[in-house]
């Protein structure tokens, strides 16, 4: 698979060639610059390691996330090798049509018809998604100090 030139150039300029390609819970892949992965996702993985052996879900998550991730060097041409297991996860046949989605700290790679179906579904629930995410953000913030009285 080949990244669009503008996206490839932005990645190379901002982050260099080191990337992580990983399977997401949805039928897509995430391409994350190595520096961002170590800072953001690496923190999550380190916290999960503290919970091992933990629950069955914790163990299964580490099995799936460990086998669904590879480190790679982005080529100057912007090509990304997709191993069979990664293409199967996305539902992508060789030469199939892909959708490349910018998603904050990652680039997502979808089989185009699956992305269109998913996009329509999430657009239909945009208000609900916004409210739930807003609630999660507020729940994660430490309580603010009461205003000082003069």
Distance CA 106, CA 36 (A): 9
* Claim: this prediction has a pTM higher than 0.75: yes
At 40-53, the pLDDT tens digits run 876 777 776 666 67
At 115-130, the pLDDT tens digits run 999 999 999 999 998 9
| pLDDT, position 107 | 92
Distance CA 86, CA 123 (A): 26
Task: Classify strands 106-111 and 28-33 as parallel, antiparallel or unpaired.
Answer: antiparallel
| Fold of the domain built from segment(s) 5-112 | Chemotaxis protein chec (3.40.1550)
| pLDDT, position 91 | 94
Where are the chain's structural domains?
5-112
At 57-102, the pLDDT tens digits run 777 777 776 667 889 998 888 888 888 889 999 999 878 899 999 8
């Amino acid at each position: 698979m080949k990244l669009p030139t503008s996206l490839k150039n932005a990645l190379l300029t901002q982050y260099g060639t080191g990337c992580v390609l990983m399977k997401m819970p949805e039928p897509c892949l995430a391409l994350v610059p190595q520096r961002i992965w170590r800072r953001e996702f690496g923190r999550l993985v380190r916290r999960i390691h503290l919970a091992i052996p933990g629950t069955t879900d914790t163990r299964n998550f580490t099995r799936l996330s460990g086998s669904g991730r590879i480190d790679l060097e982005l080529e100057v041409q912007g090509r990304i090798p997709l191993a069979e297991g990664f293409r199967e996860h996305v539902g992508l046949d060789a030469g199939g049509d892909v959708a490349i989605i910018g998603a904050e700290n990652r680039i997502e790679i979808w089989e185009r018809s699956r992305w269109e179906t998913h996009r329509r579904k999430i657009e239909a629930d945009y208000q609900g998604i916004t409210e739930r995410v807003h609630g999660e953000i507020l729940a994660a913030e430490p309580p603010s100090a009461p205003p000082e009285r003069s």
